């Protein structure tokens, strides 16, 4: 089979479409939403409206730039979940309408599974089994990947995601949204050992980041009590220290997971995998541990339809289609 699939991603604040042919991604069209910046975070209702405004143009551009006609499509893929319900509903509804009009099957895709499978867009591709640290604004998971469609979560956050910790810390500092990339930017000029933050102890391979945000809030409160300009004067060192602390928390669990499973193929995925500190420290730890490290291209770290397309390709090969009565899921387990 040489399937041609149109994939649609609309789980949060990016409207994206991609066409894949025989496992090769032909394009990856993304429309981001700047409307959320002034609110300091994603507003679900505004995200849904922006998806409605963008989706026709995004899909049209994906079809035109791929050189594929609608009649050549073998299936329509879409993100079913997890994500914002209203945002997901736009993509699901569009996929249903297009699939009905063309009389072709639909393929539902788990957004988190697709993040892992982003590693199969370009070379080098990891061999099975491998461990994938999937880190984003909504999720922090260590995934044991046994095959393209067989994955098991062996560790995850019990409260906030690491991406949320980055963004909330940035907001506490008074940095604009999205704050995670700004922390990364300032951290590159700072001293990662300037300040220490408390460790969070969790059982097994799980994470917890809610306490870090609270500790960081009190840390700044106390410092600003004696120096109101503390953040402005020490922003680089603050960001570097916080980033180093969060990265250490992540990689400590990855190292433990590797030791427990004996797996040395290690990957990262999700929006936070674009963080330069995480990428650098993972490479350094990988060299020390003798790991094979897999880090996705920046364009495939954040939400995108190319990863949805790759996941759909492998599901198509298994004839894993869904019916027209499918509904989006705000919460959707990986397995």
Element (H, E) at 117: helix 111-117
Q: Are 119 and 294 in contact (CB under 8 A)?
A: yes
Does 137 carry a binding-site annotation?
Answer: yes
Does 123 carry a binding-site annotation?
Answer: no
Does 4 carry a binding-site annotation?
Answer: no
Does 248 carry a binding-site annotation?
Answer: no
Nearby residues of 197 by Cβ (< 8 Å), 6 or more positions away: 212, 215, 216, 219, 241, 242, 245
Does 138 carry a binding-site annotation?
Answer: yes
Degrees (nearest 5) of the Cα angle 175, 296, 191? 40
Does 234 carry a binding-site annotation?
Answer: no
214 three-class SS? helix
Element (H, E) at 254: helix 230-261
Does 292 carry a binding-site annotation?
Answer: no
Does 189 carry a binding-site annotation?
Answer: no
Does 275 carry a binding-site annotation?
Answer: yes
Does 135 carry a binding-site annotation?
Answer: yes
Q: How far is Cα 275 from Cα 183, in angstroms, rounded to an integer?
A: 9
- Closest among 90, 101, 111, 107 to 6, alpha carbons compared: 107
Q: How far is Cα 235 from Cα 277, in angstroms, rounded to an integer?
A: 16
Q: Tell me the pairing of strands 265-269 and 292-294.
A: parallel
Does 303 carry a binding-site annotation?
Answer: yes
Does 134 carry a binding-site annotation?
Answer: yes
35 three-class SS? helix
Q: How far is Cα 305 from Cα 30, in angstroms, rounded to an integer?
A: 8
* Axis crossing angle, helix 179-187 with helix 276-289, rounded to the nearest 10: 60
Residues annotated in a binding site for substrate: 134-138, 167, 180, 184, 275
Residues annotated in a binding site for Fe cation: 111, 115, 303
Residues annotated in a binding site: 111, 115, 134-138, 167, 180, 184, 275, 303
């Amino acid at each position: 089979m040489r399937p041609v699939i149109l994939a649609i991603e609309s789980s949060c604040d990016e409207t994206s479409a991609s066409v894949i042919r025989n496992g090769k991604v032909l394009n990856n069209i993304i429309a981001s939403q700047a409307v959320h910046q002034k609110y300091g975070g994603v507003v679900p209702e505004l995200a849904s409206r922006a998806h409605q405004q963008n989706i026709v143009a995004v899909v049209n551009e994906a079809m035109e730039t791929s050189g594929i006609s609608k009649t050549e499509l073998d299936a329509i893929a879409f993100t079913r979940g997890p994500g914002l319900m209203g945002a997901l509903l736009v993509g699901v509804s569009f996929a249903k309408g297009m699939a009905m009009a063309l009389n072709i099957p639909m393929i539902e895709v788990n957004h988190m599974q697709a993040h892992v499978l982003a590693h199969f867009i370009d070379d080098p591709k990891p061999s099975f089994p491998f461990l994938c640290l999937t880190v984003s604004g909504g999720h922090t998971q260590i995934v044991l990947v046994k095959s393209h469609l067989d994955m098991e979560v062996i560790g995850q956050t019990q409260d906030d995601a690491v991406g949320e910790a980055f963004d909330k810390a940035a907001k506490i500092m008074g940095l604009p949204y999205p704050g995670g990339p700004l922390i990364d930017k300032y951290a590159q000029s700072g001293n990662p050992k300037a300040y220490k933050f408390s460790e969070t102890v969790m059982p097994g391979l799980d994470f917890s980041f809610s306490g870090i945000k609270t500790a960081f809030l009190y840390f700044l409160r106390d410092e600003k009590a004696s120096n109101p300009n503390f953040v402005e004067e020490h922003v680089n060192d603050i960001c570097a220290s916080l980033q180093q602390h969060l990265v250490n928390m992540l990689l400590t669990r990855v190292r433990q997971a590797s030791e427990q499973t004996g797996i040395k193929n290690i990957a990262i995925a999700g929006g936070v995998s674009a963080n330069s500190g995480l990428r650098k420290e993972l490479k350094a730890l990988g060299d020390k541990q003798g790991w094979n490290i897999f880090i996705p291209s920046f364009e495939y770290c954040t939400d995108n339809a190319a990863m949805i397309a790759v996941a759909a390709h492998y599901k198509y090969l298994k004839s894993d289609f869904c019916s027209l009565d499918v509904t989006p899921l705000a919460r959707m387990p990986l397995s």
